[in-house]
Amino acid sequence: MSSSGFWTTELMNWRNMDPLSPDAFLWLMEAQGGALIEVCVTSASYDEWVATFDALVAKGFPLLVKRCDVAIPPVITTDMFADGDENSFVMSVEIGRQLWTTNFYSVSLIDFQGSPRDILDNSDIEDARGFMQVIANATGRTVRMVPETFNYETEVAYMLVGPM
């Protein structure tokens, strides 16, 4: 497990859960092809969503919140989760050259989708780790990076970042 003053993280080998080298991680991102990757916390709460949002704002990450493709004030409210799969809200977060989005599908799932094509080198890995660390610290829980899935709890993670 690597650790600095900023994060504790594991790049995981999806076959046997052994730690993965950065080069092997970048190969996995390239192998994703057109599929998305997701950064997620399962069994989340509304308070954890608010804490995540507040932490992202405090760190100065550029955020954009839209409803029906119209920008709205960047706040988290309970009605953002009311539409379920037909949700009209979306939030995007810029992390370096990466763009992570969420559609607020469920209050119980903090879930941001991104493109593996945006993770091209070690600095991009560091940016993704930093994003995940903010979420981990805000929620007090481990954040997982997984391939796009509906089975968040059983999908093997590419990267795990725990709170510090």
Both tokens of 163, joined, read: 């709170």
Q: Provide the whole-model pTM.
A: 0.86
Task: Give pLDDT tens digits for 105-149.
Answer: 889 999 999 999 999 999 999 999 999 999 999 999 999 999 888
Residues 6+ apart with CB under 8 A from 82: none
The size of the chain, in residues, is 164
d(CA 54, CA 116): 26
Q: For 106, which DSSP code? A: B
Task: Give pLDDT tens digits for 31-80.
Answer: 887 789 999 999 999 999 999 999 999 999 999 999 999 999 999 999 89
